[in-house]
Chain A
Amino acid sequence: MKPGLTMRDPTAETASDLRSRTAPLASPAGKTLALMDIGKMRGEEFIDRLEQLCRARGVATRRYKKPTNTRVAPREMIKDIATHCQAVVIALSDCGSCTSCSTHDLNDLDKKGLPGVSVLTEEFRQAFEAQKSAIGLDAVAVYVPHPMQNRTTAELHAFAEQSIDSILTAICYSAP
């Protein structure tokens, strides 16, 4: 990502230059977790397993799927998530455009009061850091191995199993 306009911080600079994210939920009890599929290939298989794991832990979920990973989520989808859900997991970014768009989605939902976490492949750690810096949100991500497009379904399910604890901890203070 190329840098754009540079400005100067008008604040006292006593805090990070990133806006604090919405605080995690105290507990997922009685809450609904949005599972947003960014629309990238193979992400669905990872989210299928994530959904099973959430249910097994008593976490209610609601599935969403973006029409394309190359654009930010439609306004209606953001509104629906904010209306029906209290936290969000956005998965699974393994390219530049999806990293950028999904971080914007995370920011839009954060501004609506939903703590969120983005799931990306390791290769996009730096891109996510750059994007969150540009957006100005102290956003949180969980990483799975890269590449993922050539994995078997079983391997993608294993990624979900390995990351479920980190994902729930990112959005709940007391994760089940």
Chain B
Amino acid sequence: MVRASFPDDGLLIFAKRACETCAMVEPVMRELACGGLPITVLTQDDPSFPSVVKAFDDTALEQSFRFEVEAVPTVIRLRSGKEVARTIGWNRAEWERVTGLPDLGPGLPAMRPGCGSKTREPGVWEELVARHGDSGLRARRITIGEWDDEIEACFDRGWSDGLPVVPPTDARIMRMLEGTSRRPDEIIGHVPPNLAPITIEKVAINAVLAGCKPEYMPVVLAALEAALEPDATMHGLLCSTCFSGPILVVNGPITREIGMNAGINCLGQGNRANATIGRALQLIIRNVGGGRPGEIDRAVLGGPGKYTFCFAEDESDPTWMPLSVARGIAPGRNAVTLFQGDGIQGFIDQRSRTPEQLTSSLALSLLAVGNWKLCEFTNAMLVLVPEHYAIYRDAGWDRGRITSALHAAMVRSGEDVIQGALGVGEGIDVRRKDEMINKFWPEGLLIVHAGGQAGLFSAICAGWTGSRFREESKIVTKEIRL
């Protein structure tokens, strides 16, 4: 540990002008200065304070950091260069014990608490650790030139999805790691397509890039764990020539705690948690997994959801069973569901008044997913807005009944959807001509309740074509570990 040079036998007093107790004990500092022991006052905020003795300028807080000062005033007794006693705040008996001098501060109250050290103000400690301490971080250091623009440097190194990223400095990474109790060196799994191992620290670095706040970390980690489940087929989803990417639906109280949007414009821009959690997952796949467009990511068109596609479900209506609960997570718990899907197809219906009418109407639009004639080929996610759900709810329909009614409304005769039927080459195997055909697998239609309170405009997200292999590619839900 490198400390500034102070007398081996003497007193150090850490103080700041903004602290009333520090100002109150200024006369005591003068007493101490006359008491025989060398005294050094290290000031954290104003080098002209105190005026009674010469102050050591510690506005950079390096010495306060190195002496692990938690509060001011802090009095430290050094003997042979080593700390042998310390006290914080003003307490006459304690100051007399530490300094060995009697009758300090006549006229002052017997004790008064001090203030917090500036080293403990928000964001400061991590910066000081980064500058003077050991951050414990293991990732490779990248140092840019003094005059280089750090945002451009991140672009140049290929760390970005095309939008600016937040430079991952040690202080930011350490703050991000505060968002989880998991050890930085814990390996979570192997990220496709390169199947590179990923630690919590690497997740934090990419969460910094994405613009996350530390409190989003548990959600980012659960999203990543969902993506790393073999059933999520992240490798295929990423490398696919299709439009798809991971769509994340978050459930539970954490969505309210971190301010996720489940309401107006929740599938759109403007909410930091929604935007950056989805982005963090995509940046991890890019940076750690090596999945970069044009290289191993071979999407013909891609889609804007590949920047980020993450939102919360609206759980405010007690009649609605949350998606996570429908997928086996206990009520009140936090979870992330990863749906392999595309961008949205708007569903407009401002005329239906009954559940039956609305079901028929929704079914018509859902049938268009992928291709009107393709069946059991992709999954689909229906984002049902409150006004549409109200039509069901007021008639006593719940999630289960809506789901089964929609499936039933989408059963068609095989002869209408086989390849070649209706003059269209695309379609299902001609050998199924005489069967009645479901549009989706029974588990392949997800319904999520979200959106603003006004507007009869729900949304359909088509699923990825890889889901045609029903046993190989599945929607994944992971409980969030806090």
Contacts and interface: CB of A to CB of B under 8 A. Distances in A.
B148 A134 contact: yes
Interface stretch (A3-11, A24-32, A40-48, A57-65): A3-11
A153 B87 CA distance: 76
B146 A3 contact: yes
A8 B140 contact: yes
A12 interface: yes
B39 interface: no
Contacts of B169: 5-8
Interface string A1-25: 1111111111111100101000000
B157 A19 contact: yes
B143 A136 contact: no
A10 B202 contact: yes
A8 B196 contact: no
Interface string A136-164: 11000000000000000000000000000
Given A10-B202, A14-B194, A19-B157, A4 B147 contact: yes
A8 B204 CA distance: 11
B287 A11 contact: yes
B234 to A, nearest CB: 15
Nearest to B147: A4
A93 to B, nearest CB: 16
A118 interface: no
A53 interface: no
Interface in B134-166: 137, 139-148, 150, 153-154, 156-159
From B146, B156, B158, residue with most partner A Cβ within 10 Å: B156
B461 to A, nearest CB: 28
Given A3-B143, A19-B158, A10 B194 contact: no
A54 interface: no
B22 interface: no
B168 interface: yes
Contact of B142 (A17, A100, A130): A17
B131 to A, nearest CB: 10
Given A10-B209, A12-B191, A107 B156 contact: yes
A135 interface: yes
Question: Which of under 10, 10 to 19, 20 to 34, or 35 or more describes the interface residues of B?
Answer: 35 or more
Nearest to A111: B156
B126 interface: no
Given A12-B290, A131-B145, A6 B159 contact: no
B288 A7 contact: no
B480 interface: no
Contacts of A7: 141-144, 150, 153-154, 167-169
Contacts of A6: 141-144, 169-170
Given A12-B194, A13-B139, A107-B156, A5 B283 contact: no
A44 to B, nearest CB: 28
Contacts of B153: 5, 7, 134-136
B144 A5 contact: yes
A4 B169 CA distance: 12
Contact of A4 (B137, B143, B154, B198): B143
B205 A1 contact: no
A107 B153 CA distance: 11
B140 to A, nearest CB: 4
B206 interface: yes
A160 B334 CA distance: 68
Interface string B188-199: 000100101110
A8 B173 contact: yes
Given A12-B290, A14-B194, A4 B156 contact: no
Interface in B380-420: none
A131 to B, nearest CB: 7
Interface in B328-348: none
Contact of A10 (B144, B150, B287): B287
B37 to A, nearest CB: 40
B311 to A, nearest CB: 25
Contacts of A17: 140, 142, 157
Contacts of B167: 5, 7
Contact of A8 (B139, B191, B194): B139
Given A5-B167, A6-B141, A6-B143, A137 B283 contact: no
28 contacts: A3-B143, A4-B146, A5-B148, A6-B141, A6-B169, A6-B170, A7-B153, A7-B168, A7-B169, A8-B141, A8-B142, A8-B168, A8-B173, A8-B205, A10-B139, A10-B202, A10-B205, A10-B287, A10-B288, A12-B191, A12-B194, A12-B287, A12-B289, A13-B140, A19-B157, A111-B156, A133-B143, A136-B142
Which 3 residue pairs of A and B lie closest in terms of their CB atoms, listed nearest first?
A12-B196, A134-B145, A9-B140
Interface of B: 137, 139-148, 150, 153-154, 156-159, 167-170, 173, 191, 194, 196-198, 202, 205-206, 209, 283, 287-290
Given A3-B143, A10-B168, 4 more contacts: A7-B168, A8-B139, A12-B191, A136-B156
